[in-house]
Homo-oligomer: A and B are copies of this chain.
Amino acid sequence: MITVLRLGHRPARDKRVTTHVGLVARCFGASRMVITTRDDELVSRIQSVNDRFGSNFSVEYQRNWKNYIRSFDGIVVHLTMYGEKLGEVAGRIGHDGDLLVVVGSEKVPKEVYHLATYNVAVGNQPHSEVAALALFLDRYTGGAWEKEELGGKLKIMPSARGKKVETVS
């Protein structure tokens, strides 16, 4: 099971970016996102996507991220541009047991670098935690998202032009 811990979410400022983090987590193989600030709106936004497009992806609140990481029973990957290159570290990250992927917003507390099993850089350049998460999960799962069906009421049919959506009853 893959969990994504989104650090430093501030509902007003990060509304859209954290939604993107959650939807990327859901689409690319994680089962839940943990946030450290309560945000009921965010929870319902993601729930509404589940309702229409499938999956039981959940958003959970944990007040204390430090305890949460410390007590996590599994591998902890922190995505940061300061980390080891994805291409070099990916092969060392085990696939047995649970995985916690930590993504920050602007400033990440120093302790995170030490609590993580691996600090992983998806490029040693500033870009986006949303992109970093997508590429990390893509590599970690061997591109499983390309085949995955999430079993929703609405199913988008791939199309060269326009929009084709089937309603599954």
Task: State the A residues within 8 Å of B (CB).
Answer: 13-14, 16-17, 20, 23-24, 26-28, 49, 53, 81-88, 110, 113-114, 118-119, 121, 123-128, 130-131, 133-135, 138, 143, 145-146, 150, 155-165
Contact = CB atoms under 8 A, between A and B. Distances in A.
**Identical copies in the complex:** 2
B135 A20 contact: no
Contact of A164 (B49, B82, B130): B82
Contacts of A135: 134-135, 138
Given A124-B158, A125-B27, A145-B123, A163 B131 contact: no
B123 A27 contact: yes
A118 B87 CA distance: 29
B146 A125 contact: no
A7 to B, nearest CB: 16
The 6 closest A-B pairs by CB, nearest first: A131-B134, A20-B128, A124-B156, A23-B127, A130-B130, A82-B163
Given A126-B49, A131-B133, A131-B134, A85 B146 contact: yes
